[in-house]
Structure 1
Amino acid sequence: MSSRQIHQWKNIALTEQDITLPNGKSICHTTIQHPGAAVILPIDPNGNIVLINQFRPSLQKWLIELPAGTIEPNESPMSCAQRELIEETGFQAKEFISLGQVTPLAGFCDEIQHLFIAKQLTTNQQLDCDEDEIIEVVTMSRNELEQQIIDGNISDAKTIACLSKAKLCGYI
């Protein structure tokens, strides 16, 4: 299998690969290579969920979503979750529960998102956002969050997936 990098941006790359499919057919497939991400479902002491309202330049609009971020080189998914929670919400958590993984864009991207619940939150500091992040912290009850999803006001896939997994596993 040969591979060619077409473009690199930060730690994400666009590559083409000559591969042979299970049926024996050879194709050239283009993949976005992504180091993975951590998605955090923070639950405050009152049982409310801490979210962020973030301006997303790719969509040219604001999205309400769970805090999340890309895993840095030599960083574990758990360390990424801890770091991103502090950077994007100003909270830290004494307890993290792993909910496993989701593959959000398997048709053209190899990203794996690692899902976590964060509990026993304490205020840590001011937000420490990346240069291209504009973030406001938002808190909602689980019922409010679910209604926002039903109404179409929250459409972020990682948020819906993480909330669903936490609910199906009986954590919320």
Structure 2
Amino acid sequence: MVKNMVLKPWKKLGSRKAADLKLFRARWDKLENPRTGQAMERLVLETPDWVNVVPVTTDGEVVLVHQYRFGIEALSVEIPGGLIDPGEDSEAAARRELAEETGFTGGDWQYLGMVEPNPAFHNNDCHHWLAWDVIKTQEPVLDAGEDILVQTVSFDKIRQMISSGELKHVLALSALSRVKAIWQKM
């Protein structure tokens, strides 16, 4: 246990751009360690904030998406989400992503808070939303790099998928952990 310890912020001595990687812009920050005084470079990946949504249908089922993820070279089970566009607020982005990825819209929306996806080297936040009583009103409108299977499952099935490791996307787990209705029957 740490008692009465105060960490000091690291002083930024400079930055230099590294690469523009479409979804990320890499930069190297030169920082001074306040404990040692030593200067060192650290990689930062600049990216817009992200958003995801836990959509619950009028039948009380959660809308999930299955999609191939290039980083893990495998299919991933997730909740709908994506990048927040410039000038867009997180709720508008969540509504847009839900409609684009699943075709579900409407509902009663509640902000669940935000998390820092990887503060070691990402500079963005991920905002979580809950949408009750969504309905299918359109066909999904997928980007060229997307191929998504939409599934609706009960709260019991969500808990089972988490317990078995089938649903393991950390940002989805973070959002789902904030929806009390999913966990009330446990």
TM-score, with normalisation over the residues of structure 1?
0.92
Identity of aligned residues (%): 27
CA displacement, residues 81-122 of structure 1 (integer Å, 9 cap, x when unaligned)? 011010001011232100110112111212210000012212
- Which residue pairs with 1:159 in the alignment? 172
CA RMSD of aligned residues (A): 2.0
Q: Say which of 16, 24, 28 aligns to 1:12.
A: 24
- Which residue pairs with 1:36 in the alignment? 49
Checking the alignment, whether the CA contact within 8 Å between 2:159 and 2:182 is kept in structure 1 is: no
- Which residue pairs with 1:3 in the alignment? 15
Q: Distance in 1 between matches of 2:48 and 2:72?
A: 22
Residue 129 of structure 1 pairs with residue 142 of structure 2 = yes
Q: Say which of 58, 80, 92 aligns to 1:67.
A: 80
Checking the alignment, whether the CA contact within 8 Å between 2:18 and 2:25 is kept in structure 1 is: yes
Displacement after TM superposition at 1:20 (Å): 2.5
Q: Distance in 2 between matches of 1:164 and 1:147?
A: 14
Q: Distance in 1 between matches of 2:140 and 2:184?
A: 27
Q: Distance in 1 between matches of 2:80 and 2:98?
A: 6
SS of equivalent to 2:15: strand
SS of equivalent to 2:179: helix
Give the aligned residue type for 1:135: I
Displacement after TM superposition at 1:72 (Å): 1.0
- Which residue pairs with 1:55 in the alignment? 68
1:69-84 correspondence to structure 2 within 5 Å: 69-84=82-97
Could you tell which deviates more after superposition, 25-34 or 67-76?
A: 25-34
CA displacement, residues 24-81 of structure 1 (integer Å, 9 cap, x when unaligned)? 4422110111111111000001111001001112211111100010111111111110
CA displacement, residues 9-31 of structure 1 (integer Å, 9 cap, x when unaligned)? 22421110112244344221101
- Which residue pairs with 2:102 in the alignment? 89
Q: How many residues align?
A: 172
- 5+ residue gaps, structure 2, are 1-12
1:140-155 correspondence to structure 2 within 5 Å: 140-155=153-168
Structure 1: which 4+ aligned runs deviate by more than 4 Å? 168-172
Q: Which has the larger radius of gyration?
A: 2
Give the aligned residue type for 1:54: Q
SS of equivalent to 2:106: strand
- Which residue pairs with 1:120 in the alignment? 133
Change (3 A) 1:169 1:28: farther
Q: Distance in 2 between matches of 1:11 and 1:84?
A: 16
